[in-house]
Amino acid sequence: MIISASRRTDIPRFHSDWFLNRVRTGYVDVRNPLFPGQVSRYSLSRDVSSGASTLCW
């Protein structure tokens, strides 16, 4: 699995503490920008995303 971590914002520069906390917690909630009431939860657990790579661009 590839985790694209900076598509909407500059996570490495402005939100690195938040991102590392999400990795430690094991999940991230993502709000759909077109439908703000729709929130999806993605697991960052090693059990689910074995061999995951993080892409920050």
pLDDT at 51 over 70: no
Q: What is the pLDDT of residue 16?
A: 85
**pLDDT of 4-40, one tens digit each?**
766 667 887 888 898 889 888 989 898 998 999 999 9
| The model's pTM | 0.65
**How many angstroms separate the CA atoms of 26 and 54, rounded?**
14
Give me the residue spans of the domains in the chain. Answer: 2-55
Query: What are the C-alpha distances in Å from 25 to residues 22, 29, 35, 57?
Result: 5, 11, 25, 23
Q: Of all helices (H) and strands (E), which one includes residue 43?
A: strand 39-43
Q: What is the pLDDT of residue 13?
A: 82
Q: What is the pLDDT of residue 46?
A: 72
